Amino acid sequence: MRVIRRADGYYAQCCLDLERREKSQYTGNVIGLDLGLEHFYTDQHGNKVSCPKFLRRAERRLKKHQRRLSRRFRKDSKGQSKNYLKQKQRLGKLHLKVQRQRRDWAIKLARCVVASNDVVVYEDLQVQNLVKNHHLAKSFALAVRSTFQDAAWSIFTGWLDDYGKV
């Protein structure tokens, strides 16, 4: 068991080592995915799934709360004021909401792709190298815990691997 602190509180996380087996019939469905920025992925049949871009939708609220946080910061005080800490908490909750929306969407999409196909093939992207391009960095997902990138490729491919092991 471990205790995790998030912007909205503390969580106790219990880990169990179980093997999950699902019975399924082999249907012969094979899908190849091409990950992209305009469309989240395109399969070999030309079907495209667009990315909901949760960060882009929440940017206005995030900017507003970031400005409020910036105004409450005082250089002359030794510690931060209560209002600064409360605003910091509000901003953290907004970032956490965006992170959870992105993660939930990617998990559900991965589950749907694996459930409807027997073999899933996708390109192996080096996302860390792609983030070095500063013009596109906000659109890429660097890691599972990242809250600032919007594509969520790493989250999606990680869950494809997890669900595909069955």
- pLDDT-derived band at 19 (thresholds 50, 70, 90) equals confident
Task: Please give the backbone phi and psi of residue 72, each rounded to the nearest 5 degrees, phi first.
Answer: -85, -10
d(CA 43, CA 120): 10
Share of the chain above pLDDT 70, in %: 81
Asked if pLDDT for residue 144 goes beyond 60, the answer is no
d(CA 102, CA 80): 31
Beta pairing partners, 12: 3
- pLDDT-derived band at 142 (thresholds 50, 70, 90) equals very low
pLDDT at 59: 92
Q: Mean pLDDT for the chain?
A: 83
Q: Which residue has the higher pLDDT, 145 or 124?
A: 124
d(CA 52, CA 54): 6
Question: In this structure, are residues 30 and 119 in contact, taking their beta carbons and an 8 Å threshold?
Answer: yes
